[in-house]
């Protein structure tokens, strides 16, 4: 199926850097989206509907959890 034998040679530090970078890719993608597109179809344009806010919160939480454990 999937062969991850190559990952045995990767240090834990580089693995953590790779995963934390992968957490920030959706954040960068969300930051590049226009607010009009994010709120398209929303009946109200309230701040809690903004995808940028939710992605920021999730990336911070994921990074803190991953860095801790």
Q: What is the pLDDT of residue 1?
A: 66
pLDDT at 20: 81
The overall average pLDDT reported for the chain is: 84
Q: What is the pLDDT of residues 8-39, one digit of tens each?
A: 888 888 988 888 888 888 888 888 988 888 88
**Span 29-67, pLDDT tens digits:** 888 988 888 888 888 888 888 888 888 898 888 888 887
Ordered DSSP codes for 6-60: GGGGS-HHHHHHHHHHHHHHHHHHHHHS-HHHHTTT-SS--GGG-HHHHHHHHHH
**Confidence (pLDDT) at 16:** 83
């Amino acid at each position: 199926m999937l062969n991850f034998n190559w990952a045995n040679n990767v240090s834990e530090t580089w693995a953590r850097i790779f995963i934390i970078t992968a957490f920030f890719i959706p954040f960068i993608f969300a930051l590049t989206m226009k607010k009009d597109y994010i709120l398209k179809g929303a009946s109200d344009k309230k701040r809690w509907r903004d995808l940028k806010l939710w992605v920021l919160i999730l990336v911070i939480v994921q990074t803190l959890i991953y860095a801790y454990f």
